[in-house]
Amino acid sequence: MKKVFQKITSILLACLVLLSTFSFTVEKHYCGRFLVDVAVFSKAKDCGMNMMSHSDDQSVRMQKKSCCKDEIIVLEGQDELKVSFDQIDFSQQGFIISYIHSYVNLFSLPEEKHLISKEYSPPERVTDILILHETFLI
């Protein structure tokens, strides 16, 4: 159960990093008050009602106001994911180093101290003669 939860969490975190760096554009085309087209990653199609400049003479140009409106929404992703260790001030660096040092030492096991050295030969055992011959005082 623990490994399944760990795999699901790692997949979700990978998707979160991917989505945070992902940027895209949404374009909307309105004709008057009505929404005509919405496009993601491409240009929205127009309704064909674009007003062209009307010219009767070369000297007189008359341009009518267009009833169409384009709306563009840009969602920028994150460009820089890695924070440099140089951008952190000295007190924060000291805190991070002490935290890592205490965290590593929290899970390390203490070394066993060997009291008997390998070169030392223990004294010979003295056998208890009373127990050896099973003679007890009553």
Q: What is the pTM of this model?
A: 0.41
pLDDT (tens place) for every residue of the chain, 138 residues total: 888 999 999 999 999 888 888 888 899 988 888 888 889 888 888 777 765 544 455 444 555 667 888 889 888 877 766 666 677 888 888 898 898 888 887 777 777 776 666 777 777 888 888 888 888 887
Looking at residue 12, what is its pLDDT?
95
The answer to whether 73 and 25 are in contact (CB under 8 A) is yes
* The CA-based dihedral angle spanning residues 100, 101, 105, 108, taken in that order and rounded to the nearest 10 degrees: 70
Looking at residue 63, what is its pLDDT?
56
Looking at residue 65, what is its pLDDT?
66
Return phi, psi of residue 75, to 5°. -105, 110
- To which residue do tokens 């994911």 refer? 81
